[in-house]
Structure 1
Amino acid sequence: MKFVRVMASCGVLMFGVASCSNATVQQPYSRRCELPAMAAQARQVSAPGGAWCVGKAGFTFQDPTRAEPFSTVANARRELALKVWYPIANPARQRPRAEYAEPEALSAMKAAGEVQVASHSAAGATMQMHRQYPVLLFSPGLGAVAEFYSGLLEDLASRGYVVVAINHPYISAVTVLPGGRVIPLLDVLEQDDKKLAGAAPLVVADLRSTLDWLEQRNREPEHLLGGHLDLTRIGALGHSFGGSAALQATRLDPRLRAAANLDGTIQGDLSGPWVKPMLLYAAGNDPQDASMEKVGNAHRGSWAYKVLEDAGHHDFTDGRWVLPGPVIEAMGDDFGSVDRSLALRILRSDLGSFFHRYLGGP
């Protein structure tokens, strides 16, 4: 077992890489990547630190083999909404910024209002021809949305990964589906631990369905992702409830090679075998999670447990960058006293180093 407590200061080493290092890119990201200026009052997470510019696209799909257990519609099938961040070459012309999130998602996360939130991603961009990239699947926490982690996911894309994040109907804060359908969080999952535990396999299955969908799209030359996915190098990560799903999906699915869990209590069977590389990351302000300890004791292979000192559960999200001050104050201990910029740099570097070690680069 590797145990590392990460203080909010530079110079900490993990996996042989300095935690606070940034890519040696001379020009500011927005200028190098030909993004238009954002509104002066817009909120924004720090720019990605990798060498690649980032594009963003959204997709939805239905899995005809899976019933939707939470729907009241007869014979409803499970549908998922994907947000994909991906590496692009430095563009030759300016492209519009992709939206940070749909208005419905911003409203659900209490980030809506007069102040805008801007992304660092380009809309309508394509990937370099004849180039493949390793893939990362991401699952958000219960009652959150995938875009609420853009600060981490854009950065991973800038390091050369295709990052495919899932909004899970009835489990994410909202899931926007075709035809103007907006599926909110099912409140009972926040109120009943047994029902929440019963939903855990559904999210694991969502990750595996997404892998099936990616395999199909990779065979379609006309698709944005077609031919660009190196499906021999896939990892998974998630926060909270999604972090648990990332670990369990990686244990079950041979296509997944490594997983990172950001401050998530691990649901389901915790006994061995756990053999694939994994990173367990915890918030320093929370008590040590017994499920992480149990999984660590049952693991037989390469893994690491880290604590981000002075951090709360939501310091793994974009919350302190995009939420209004009164909302942050009302959330209390969900946020810690850790400096948001240092915390983001440490998490970006540690996740980038972990996945580079076990998946390699582009």
Structure 2
Amino acid sequence: MNKEPAHPPLSGEELGLLAKASMVIQERRDAGLEGLVGGLDSVILATETGNLVPAVFELLRYTGLAIHEAFFDADSQSYVLGLAGSASVIVRSRAGEGNPFSQVNRARLSGSLPNTRIETFVFTTPNLGKYVEIQKGRCVRFLTDSPLESASCSFIQTVPSPFTGNSLGFIEWKTGKKSYVPHGGTVISPDLIKPASAHLGNIAGLDHAATRVRAQDRSSAILEFLNLTNYHYDFGVYVKSLNSITSVARREGENFAMVFTSGITPFPGNGELGPTEKFIRNYGTRVHHMAFRTERIEATVDSLKKDGMEFLLDIVGSEQEGLKQIFSGPSPHTLIVNEYIQRYGDFDGFFTRSNVEKLTEATGRQ
């Protein structure tokens, strides 16, 4: 009971990706990178200046996250939202020019929000200097020549990926008390209060995030992520009727998974495209949703609806299958969809094919 159905025989493409992923992992070991990247520390979510406060309040209103810190630095204002047992979400807006993500943010329906996207997934490292030295020797490019230093941490991030538009950041904490305030930053008193809604206690930390990538870039996006982290490629769920593949990368002992959703074949140009390729045409390659672990999902979703949240579909899945999931509508402030996911019992899979198909189909309603 609660076992993931057996996967169908692997295609030649899938076998090839698994072989390449094994090679990448061996290259990581040979380079001395094993053990240098830990779990997900935080996610950096950028908004337009006028949407910063509404975006933060939306997360306070619809997730279990609470404000831990707020600050100004030279070119941005940021709020740090956190929850025990979860990666933090850093919501920021830039005041200055020179956004390195501006090029990847331009698409048919995202042009009005040129600075808005989940930009960076930040992972811990016990030795940032060693990590940077090794990766520079492997031709990895970073946004700064050397790590940025503050009283609490050292931090660096890669240039945006040509395959996903995402950056990966790496942080080494110097002290037991974490503070994301950069050197020269000014701490401010948060001016927002989290609603006291009882159902928010059912919503826990980040379970996974899913990035939409082009069909022809699927393997490159996954292998790039493996090259930069200590994750491994797990499996892909093919939904041929929707021209879609959902691929999962995980790290042993880590709750957070990275998901990549792509077309099976590239956008054909004749209007007959699946929801994944349609999303990319409209919004570009970007993170589509953040998923939050949720208890009492039916009651929680009912309460979220009463509080004004709209959803793209009804709850899919069952306790017998091992999990239930649902997508919210996209946020007008961040373009991000919230997924709420409840896992049951001894379920040892990550997704079920039937859930993936229904959720992928719902993406076409955005």
Verify same fold: TM over 0.5.
no
TM-score calculated relative to the size of structure 1: 0.27
